[in-house]
Amino acid sequence: MGLETSSDPSRRNWKIRMPESAWQKSRYSASSNECVEVRTVNSTVELRESDEGHLILRTTPTALAALLHGIKAGEFDHHA
């Protein structure tokens, strides 16, 4: 998975490049079943909790990239 941006940072034209895949989870979760898993299907990104596999959140790659950018930039820190 990779992030691409426009050369103009004010445009926030974020895109995720990710081929269709099986469910993936962070290597930091090791054998734990308490993590978020992600995959792509038909140009959408799907997210789920490992222990609640029947609940799936679907979004666009652009929306997910914008969310990740906001998290990394600290835009949501005041909610913590």
Q: How many CA atoms lie within 13 A of 72 on its CB side?
A: 7
What's the pLDDT tens digit per position in 42-70? 889 999 998 888 999 999 999 999 999 99
pLDDT of residue 16: 55
How far from 47 is each of 10, 38, 54, CA to CA, in Å? Answer: 28, 5, 11
Q: Where are the domains of the chain?
A: 2-23+34-73
Mean of the per-residue pLDDT values of the chain: 80
Measure the CA–CA gap between 69 and 6, rounded to whole angstroms.
13
Burial of 80 (0-12, 13-18, 19+ CB in 10 A): exposed
pTM across the whole model: 0.65
